[in-house]
Amino acid sequence: MNFMEWLRQPWPWYIAGPLIGLMVPLLLVLGNKTFGVSSSLRHICAACMPSRIPFFSYDWKKEAWNLFFVAGIVVGAFVAFHFFQNPDPVNVSPALVADLKQYGITNYNGLVPPELFNWSSLFTVKGLILTVGGGFMVGFGTRYAGGCTSGHSIMGLSNLQFPSLVATICFMIGGFIVANWVLPFILQL
Amino acid sequence: MENKIVEKQIKELRHREFLFQNTDFEVRSLDGSCVNESQLNHPWWHYLKYLVLGFFFGIILIKSEVISWFRIQEMFRLQSFHMYGVIGSAVVTGIISVWLIKRFNVKTIYGEPIILLQKKFNKGQIFGGLIFGFGWALTGACPGPLFAQIGTGATVIIITLLSAIAGTWVYGSIREKLPH
């Protein structure tokens, strides 16, 4: 196996998980920052359209580090995807492949199925629910819960916070309900 | 010197407490406390370290495939261990790190003590958590992965991100009417 092939391999969970976990102490040591991505959405609101809403009336510039962090995510993802991406389709369980085939989803080359997420299907009912509806619930829900997978499930649990455990359990319950009993209906549309 | 650091910490803490709870809407008092703002702020290029950290986080998200819509479906359908392994080992690493930081009183690179806020329980964690879970299963992405998916060139996800920003904004505007 040559060097490039080695770089292009996907990482197993026991490499990726600890690396993600290390974001917690790194951010704390670099400047007392708590790991969390969803707050960036709030800072964007505060910066662009606060419209005198108390929730968005704060000094967002003090939280600018978070916007630098998400900008880094965009660039890092670009670099990894264009230069070190595994050329083979994602290796998911055969059970999922069989399930999704019923709905005409067979392309595993990207991170999202191109059959569902593309500009031309954006204005179909299915596309609107998945892209616009899903996005809205992500933004609304994370702020209502006070954090997302990074802020609650990783940072909060690392600090042994009970509310974060409640939030994480609810994330999973919500996901289970939709993935198993709602998404199949949406995919049939 | 010591005094300045302590003063700065108190201000930081107040700001973060405000961000975290934001239950009283008395924003002016916060602004009032920021008289010596210039002393508090680092020059902008200090933020570049977070850009670098985000860069590595973006690479990890791609290489571990945790931002793949397919991996998220697998997780919620209990068809694979991958996502549980990633999140579980990340949490264990985080718990050990935070414990070490507390145990050895680790300071930041600027010599300040590390401050960890306690989260307060409210019903939002249940209702909001469920709503986010619904959205997570549909989009296959939480907020971090949304940014990463855009980075990979899935430009239509920009719409999902804008919609997520709109969702956050709507929450902010009706938050007083919601059960907490």
Tens digits of per-residue pLDDT, B56-98?
A: 999 999 999 998 999 999 999 999 999 999 999 999 999 999 9
A118–B contact, CB cutoff 8 A: yes
Task: Check A171 against B81: CB less than 8 A apart.
Answer: no
pLDDT at A2 over 80: no
Structure ipTM: 0.94
What pLDDT does A97 receive? Answer: 93
* Residue B12 identity: E
B80–A contact, CB cutoff 8 A: yes
Per-residue model confidence as pLDDT tens digits over A29-61: 998 898 999 999 999 999 998 888 888 888 888
Tally of CA atoms within 13 A in the half-sphere of B8 that contains its CB: 19
The radius of gyration computed from the CA coordinates of chain A, to the nearest angstrom, equals: 19
Task: Check A81 against B153: CB less than 8 A apart.
Answer: yes
Q: List the structure tokens of B176.
A: 């007083």
- Degrees to nearest 5, angle at CA B82 with A104 and A159: 130
A47–B contact, CB cutoff 8 A: no
Per-residue model confidence as pLDDT tens digits over A145-157: 999 899 999 999 9
List Cα–Cα distances, A46 to A186, B70, B99, in angstroms. Answer: 34, 33, 33
B5–A contact, CB cutoff 8 A: no
pLDDT at A14 over 70: yes
List Cα–Cα distances, B66 to A42, A111, A124, in angstroms. Answer: 24, 9, 27
Task: Check B64 against A13: CB less than 8 A apart.
Answer: yes
Nearest by CB to residue A75, choosing from B58, B69, B135, is B58
The Cα–Cα gap between B70 and B110 comes to 42
A64–B contact, CB cutoff 8 A: yes
Burial of B34 (0-12, 13-18, 19+ CB in 10 A): middle
Task: Check A135 against B100: CB less than 8 A apart.
Answer: no
Tell me the mean pLDDT in the region B44-55.
92
Task: Check B89 against A148: CB less than 8 A apart.
Answer: no
Residue B113 pairs in a beta bridge with: B107
Q: Are B117 and B17 in contact (CB under 8 A)?
A: yes
Q: List the structure tokens of A87.
A: 């050329």
Helix, coil or strand: residue B107 = strand
B158–A contact, CB cutoff 8 A: no
**pLDDT more than 70, % of chain A:** 99
Q: Are A56 and B36 in contact (CB under 8 A)?
A: no
The Cα–Cα gap between A38 and A25 comes to 19
Nearest by CB to residue B173, choosing from A53, A59, A175, is A53
Q: Which of residues 4-43 of A touch B (CB under 8 A)?
A: 10-34, 37-42
Question: Quick one: which of B165, B109, B52, B60 has its CA closest to A12?
Answer: B60
B11–A contact, CB cutoff 8 A: no
**Band of pLDDT at residue B7, cut at 50, 70 and 90:** confident
Per-residue model confidence as pLDDT tens digits over A73-113: 999 999 999 888 888 888 899 999 999 999 989 999 888 99
**Band of pLDDT at residue B41, cut at 50, 70 and 90:** low
Nearest by CB to residue A180, choosing from B60, B76, B162, is B76
Closest-CA distance of chain A to residue B4, Å: 16
**CA closest to B177 among chain A residues:** A144
- What distance separates the 2 farthest-apart alpha carbons in chain A? 58
Q: Are A84 and A8 in contact (CB under 8 A)?
A: yes
pLDDT averaged over chain A?
91
pLDDT at B126 over 90: yes
B104–A contact, CB cutoff 8 A: no
The DSSP element (H or E) to which B57 belongs, if any, is helix B48-63
